[in-house]
Structure 1
Amino acid sequence: LIGISFVLAASGGLLLSANNPHGAEHLQELLTGQLLWVRWQQLQWMAALYTVILLLWTFMGHEGRKFYVLFSLAVTVSVQVVGVYLVFASLIIPALIVRQLPNKKGLIIGYLVGSLAYGGGLLISSLYDLPAGPVVVWLLAVMAVKVHIMLSWLLKKSVQARG
């Protein structure tokens, strides 16, 4: 479903910008985001909507259709600011890194990797005048590989210590 959402968002952006003279610019914003140019009004609106989503998630439950409705609302809002690529990478990459860890450890490591990638990506982006979204995506991927190698090494050491 996440892959389908990605394809629909990307192709929908192409369709919406097809006859627009500034369509290429709008499409680039949709795909790569505008992290460095977000206005406070956008963040306030998003925070209010995310609060409603979180409340609905908490009190209505998050199984089946309810999850997908809430998830689609959150993704749609997120894409407007951070772009399709970054939303997709943020959903998939940290989850792949921690998929074999216990829930609590996995959440902590996933959030840590995501936070470091966003912070480092914004710093690199500003230092080298590069688009923030793609830099964060690549930093997420590089960190994922490094963390995966480190976790594999730690797991191997743990098994050797026991055996």
Structure 2
Amino acid sequence: MDWALQLSILAPALVAGLLVLATHIPLGREVLRRGIIFIDLAIAQIAGLGVIAAHTLGWEVHGWETQVIALSAALGGAVLLGWAETRLQHQQEALIGIVFVLAATGGLLLLANNPHGGEHLRELLTGQILWVNWADLVPLAVLAGVFWLVVWQFPHWLPRLFARRTFYLVFAVVITFSVQIVGVYLVFASLVIPALAVMGKAQEQPALLPAFGLGVLGYAAGIAVSAWLDLPTGASIVWFLALAGLGYRLAIKT
């Protein structure tokens, strides 16, 4: 086995996972606090619809036109869902579900006549984290760096950052860039599973450090096992995130 080649493939994938966790765990904690669990699925699917639309128009998947369309679509969805939180609070979860279904089926319609449509849809859902290169990580690194710069250096900005009107916009920007690398399923798992696993009955806010540790464990194990057994990497990571979270909950009860 060529260990140097394996490391050159696995190392960027693991770093991508760390960068995703760096932003998704704090955002996931806020999602749990607000009780809007499936908003990430909806916005991720909207961003994915933007990617599919750009690809249908003939633009490169990682080209700037695709990024603009995906981000614009996600921000539009975020504005709609932010409006729903203030005007249709009791119907918000239903609206989130409707938006998700429309975005998902919209992607199917756009790919209906594409001979490679099934492959593109699978990549959108499960991601391509194992084939990411260092250049692909630059947007994620910038986002994570800016996010934690605000957290550490300007903590008084956080209430404004997570305010009702701005939270959805921040959420949309982060999700747009991560979903193209890790996929819709792994975005949801990264947001919800680690934060939920460390949330106790007496805790309104899950602890960030244990959640991040569980996330790192899930990503590392999922990437390693998928490479060893030649399994889909995104799906493997989702399962190992769930197993890590379950193991943590069982351990703290003993």
Q: Does the pair score TM above 0.5?
A: yes
In 1, Cα distance between equivalents of 2:206 and 2:108: 39
Of the three residues 143, 146, 149, the one matched with 2:250 is: 149
In the other structure, the counterpart of 1:134 is 235
Percentage of pairs with the same residue? 45
Structure-2 change in CA distance of 1:16 and 1:42 (3 Å): farther
Aligned partners of 2:189 and 2:238 also within 8 Å:
yes
In 1, Cα distance between equivalents of 2:196 and 2:188: 12
1:91-120 deviation per Cα after TM superposition (whole angstroms, max 9, x unaligned): 111111111276898211100000011011
Structure-2 change in CA distance of 1:50 and 1:109 (3 Å): closer
In 2, Cα distance between equivalents of 1:84 and 1:132: 13
TM-score after normalising by structure 2? 0.54
1:99 paired to 2:99: no
In the other structure, the counterpart of 1:77 is 177
Structure-2 change in CA distance of 1:14 and 1:104 (3 Å): same
In the other structure, the counterpart of 1:30 is 124
- Residue 252 of structure 2 aligns to which amino acid in structure 1? L
Which of the pair has the greater relative contact order for Cα pairs under 8 Å at 6+ separation?
2
1:6 paired to 2:41: yes
Gaps of 5+ in 2: 1-35, 46-102
TM-score after normalising by structure 1? 0.81
In 1, Cα distance between equivalents of 2:249 and 2:109: 38
C-alpha root-mean-square deviation of aligned residues, in Å? 2.5
1:87 paired to 2:187: yes
Gaps of 5+ in 1: 154-163
The alignment covers a number of residue pairs equal to 153
- Residue 128 of structure 2 aligns to which amino acid in structure 1? Q
- Residue 168 of structure 2 aligns to which amino acid in structure 1? Y
